[in-house]
Structure 1
Amino acid sequence: MKTENYDVIVIGGGAIGLASAYHLGKRKAKTLVLEQFTFVNQLGSSAGVSRQFRIPYPDQYMVQMALDAQPYWDELEKETSETLLDQVGTLWFGDPAVHSTEGNIAEAEQALKALKVPYQTLTAKEIEEKYHFRNLPETYTGLFQPDGASINFKATIETLLSLCQKEETVTLEENSPVLKINQIGERFEIITPNGIYITKKLAIIPGPYINSVINLLHFKIEATYWNMSSAYFKKTDLSIQYPTWFVFQNPIGENGNQFYGFPAVDWDHPEYIRVAPDFVIAPLAEPSDRTLIPNQQELRYTSNWVKEHMTGLSTEPEYTSTCLIALSKIQNKELLIDFAPNYIPNHQNIVLYATGWAAKFTPFLGKIMADLVLDGHTDFDITPFQLGHRFFKAL
């Protein structure tokens, strides 16, 4: 079995792992990426082909992070002939009193205003007239922010993979699950079925499989797992186009009653609109419990909402998909970006991105992770995300 030495080993070859390797390669760090499945797979939180990029958040630091991510998207887009961000704007609307995992409309408006980000406020009638929704309660309000976009996520991952393959200091290993992590002085020995690898620094980014890796270092994060469903509705009126959107509503029993959607795009079932519930009826205890089959009741709630409130679409989906994500008990399901807890030897040389929705930050988060693992710090203030002291638990 081969043994090799690296400056950094990245565990997890999804979007964030590849973005981290890309930035490590730009700094000429000898880097190994270990992916337990194949690259560009459908088994983790990088599954699917589209994501939302948005600026609205209820907290100023999240708005700032989205703003800071924009030039990194511009930089990445110059490396490919593909369009990575289809700018169609972000529409948030619904009950202004509702607080969801995405936040609250009024708080998002305050954060945008504080950072002088342009947006437009809307009444329920204006939302219906401009954006093709219908039968909205008169009390609903909304905001539209023009920088929102639909992310060509599959092309993003493929672009990052191609850039890593071209970088002479980056090595990519797929079908290489980490079986054991030994600590030898200040170094880590990583054992996989394909070899033994030595490094002084670890970037752990395996998405929903985070505990399967950090358990090898004798700690865990308390998380729940969502097997998220999506549905694709055929456009019956081809002239209609939707922005990216999210609706804030109170739950009705098991129906979380929060939904989000995308425009029709060339790379993801053209002439279809993707709509998804932003809730799950039955969270999973472990990633291994997931299936690739959407929850049928969640799809029924989604179809009923589309039938009642959207125009120009069929009322039943013709395609469906799923995506697995790990979510912590952090309020609003925010990101956790931190070093390993200090009771782990060499904790200062172990950097983790652990939970939360981060696709919209992909190239920027890769830069943050690369700086943290090489330098021990980053120019971006990650204090709000350094929550390991609250959510990591020793085994």
Structure 2
Amino acid sequence: MTNSFLKLATEGNKAAILKQQIICQYILGGDSSITDLSKAVNLSVPTVTKLIGELIDEGFVHNFGEQGTAGGRRPNIYGLNPYAGYFVGVDLRKDSVMMAAINFKGQLIDETTVDFLMDNDPRSLDRLCDVIQNFIRARKIARDKVLAVGVNISGRVNSQTGYSYSYFFVEEQPLTMLLEERLGTTVYIENDTRAATYGEYMYGDAHSEKTMLYINASWGLGLGMIIDGKIFYGKSGFSGEFGHFPLLDNEIICRCGKRGCLETGASGSAMHRIFLEKLKEGRVSMLSEKYKKGEEITLNDILAALLKEDVLAIEILESVGHTLGKAIAGLINMFNPEVIVIGGTLSVAKEYLMLPVRNAINKYSLMLVNKDTQIRLSTLGERAGVMGACILARSKSLGLF
């Protein structure tokens, strides 16, 4: 079904391109009457009426019937048909995978998180596909109704070619092809931060903005950019390596092999490393006994202690937040964005993180520039990535991206 006009649109067919514009308007503006839609897409009412009729026949658009108004004739309202198909999002984390499904209208059907450790063993890819298949089966979604699957992966991802250079890099076959062979449906891969950026942009509070920066402060540190309402990829799709900006003079070797990367002082991994160093030095924390017993202390343990007002955790996050805020000040000076959203694992700390970030921004950014920028916490939290994977799969399937 989804190929009914998309192939024609890529070939330059005028009617197919207009149908894409209509669907895009429904995605961005919601349901509307034919009269309002014609104004929004700058087409005549007869032309829009004809195109809407064809989209209804193709299964994309649904007539929701008459809707009440203040007076006069009640217009029919049209919008995306929620039952036209479904899109599945898969967000790979450090030690788990989060999955969600949305309908054609973009509404969340269900979501879940499963423990999962990803590595470059080929059997890991098979296990991941089994997990995705089980998720689809459990939701009783007919396989022919799964129009696409979006998979988020950390590191360097070229979403156009389908290659991941962090996991399962096989020169002969892109990762998308390997996944499609196992899942039996179209697959798109995306860098996890860019997907979270798009999820926050489409489902969060920044949808009306033209320029948005998204900071993914998790185990690593990533940057996603919405410029003029579109995701910025860079030439090869590798933009946003914010964590590897050589800002620090600490001589700490980053996981990328370089020294002094921002990530070594402003990320979840930095907080975890510094916390363990402080415990080794004899600093006291509510996690001290666990450390003395030789038990593993995770980043989530540290954040849980912080939310219980653990002084050591608060002190370390203040330092991490200050370093992050200093780097964000540089972004503000360069981009002059309307909004910067801070998400990822560290965002659960809320004001414990935001206070040192804002203080550093005020200290290091140009006041004339930063007064135009709103700094917000993510409204989706850790769900931004999986929601972005779903909605990106829809946008790419419809040729809107």
TM-score (norm 2): 0.25
User: Counting strand residues as a fraction of each chain, which structure ranks higher?
Assistant: 1
User: Counting helix residues as a fraction of each chain, which structure ranks higher?
Assistant: 2
> Larger relative contact order (C-alpha < 8 A, sep ≥ 6)?
1
